[in-house]
Structure formats: C-alpha cells, structure tokens
Amino acid sequence: QKEVEQDPGPLSVPEGAIVSLNCTYSNSAFQYFMWYRQYSRKGPELLMYTYSSGNKEDGRFTAQVDKSSKYISLFIRDSQPSDSATYLCAMRYQAGTALIFGKGTTLSVSS
C-alpha cells in the first residue's frame, strides 16, 4: 500500500460545477497537508496549505483534512475552464522532511 493514494481520474465536469478531489493516506503521523495544481509542461504550484485537521478556504477553493479518517479533500466551487489541470495532494510528517505526493488527479472543465 502506497503512503498516499489519489485517484488519477480523469475527471470531467461542466463549467460552474463543484469539484471534489480527494486523497487518502496510511500513516497517521502526517501533519502538514498541501494541494498543488500542475498545468501541462509546467511545475506544480501551491494552492492550499493546512496543518493538522480542519478546513481552510481561499476564494473558490476549500481544503479539508480529516485526520481520524486519514482523508483530505479539495473542493473547487464554480469551476472554470482555466481550472483544467492535474491536482496533486502532498503531505509530510513534520517540518524539515520532504513532501510525499499523490499521483495526481487530472481535471477537465468544459465550457
């Protein structure tokens, strides 16, 4: 079992839809959780960063962490064609350790 599991998709939705992206993990020691967005032939860019459990909102994006279920989510409201990209979850045990990434979910938003 990999440490971080993420459904690769692809996920296709119409413009304006609410998108839910998820990752599960196996090690309860993870404390820091991030979501990155990667456009084709570009490096990943940081979208959301949360510590421990709870929710964090930034514009149309909401990140949720449920440590009891070892499950993290990214919600995108009012999705736009420009949101079409690969979304990677990432996590680490403590500050000073390298991030462990999921394989990414490819999202396509059609206009």
Partner 1 sequence: GAGVSQSPSNKVTEKGKDVELRCDPISGHTALYWYRQSLGQGLEFLIYFQGNSAPDKSGLPSDRFSAERTGGSVSTLTIQRTQQEDSAVYLCASSAGTDYGYTFGSGTRLTVV
Residue 61 interacts with partner 1 (CB under 8 A)? no
Least separation in angstroms between residue 16's CB and partner 1 is 29
Q: Could you say whether residue 41 binds partner 1 (CB under 8 A)?
A: yes
Nearest residue to 108 via CA among 79, 75, 72: 79
Tell me if 37 contacts partner 1 by CB under 8 A: no
Residue from 1, 28, 95, 111 binding partner 1 (CB under 8 A) = 95
| Cα gap 24→35, rounded to integer Å | 13
- Residue 101 CB, nearest distance to partner 1 (Å)? 4
Distance CA 21, CA 103 (A): 12
Picking from 24, 34, 19, 43, the residue whose alpha carbon sits closest to that of residue 92 is 34
Can you tell me which of 64, 87, 104, 107 binds partner 1, judged by CB under 8 A?
A: 104
Characterize the bridge pairing of strands 85-92 and 100-101: antiparallel
Closest distance to partner 1 from the beta carbon of 27 (Å) = 15
Identity at 62, one-letter amino acid code: T
Tell me which residues touch partner 1 (CB under 8 A). Answer: 6, 8, 32, 34, 36, 41-46, 49, 88, 90, 95-104
